[in-house]
Amino acid sequence: MYCLDYVNEDSLLISSHSAEDASQLPQLVDYLRQSFPQLSDLILASTSLLCVCPADVDPSQLSLKVQQFVATSSSDNTTKTIDIPVCYATELAPDLKYVANHTGLSPAEVIALHQQGHYQVKTIGFMPGFAYLQGLSSRLALPRKANPASHVAAGSVAIAETMTAVYPSQSPGGWHIIGRSPLKLFNKHQQPMCPLTVGDKVRFVEIDYQQFLALQAQEQPHG
Q: Above 50 in pLDDT, residue 168?
A: yes
Q: Read off the pTM.
A: 0.68
Residue 204 belongs to domain with CATH number: 2.40.100.10
Q: How far, in Å, CA of 189 to CA of 166, rounded?
A: 19
Residue 65 belongs to domain with CATH number: 3.30.1360.40
Q: Above 80 in pLDDT, residue 1?
A: no
Domain boundary pick from 72, 99, 123: 72
pLDDT digits (tens, 9 = 90+) for 192-203: 788 888 888 999
Q: How far is CA 144 from the centre of its chain?
A: 18
Q: Give me the pLDDT at residue 79, please.
A: 65
Q: Above 80 in pLDDT, residue 204?
A: yes
Q: Give me the pLDDT at residue 119, please.
A: 93
Q: Above 60 in pLDDT, residue 24?
A: yes
Instruction: Please give the average per-residue pLDDT across 9-23, as a whole number.
Output: 81
Same domain, 57 and 98: no
**What is the domain count for the chain?**
2
Same domain, 97 and 66: no
Confidence of residue 6 (pLDDT cuts 50, 70, 90): confident
pLDDT digits (tens, 9 = 90+) for 28-70: 888 898 889 888 888 888 788 999 988 888 888 888 888 888 8
Same domain, 26 and 86: no
Q: Give me the pLDDT at residue 76, please.
A: 45
The residues that bridge with 160 in the sheet, in sequence order, are 163
pLDDT digits (tens, 9 = 90+) for 64-120: 888 888 877 654 445 688 999 999 999 999 999 999 999 999 999 999 999 999 898
More confident residue, 22 or 222: 22
**Weakest-pLDDT range from 38-47, 107-116, 130-139, 175-184:** 38-47
Domain with 209, as residue range(s), is 81-219
Instruction: Please give the average per-residue pLDDT across 187-210, as a whole number.
Output: 87
Same domain, 131 and 48: no
Same domain, 109 and 198: yes
**Weakest-pLDDT range from 142-146, 152-156, 214-218:** 214-218
- What rounded mean pLDDT belongs to the chain? 88
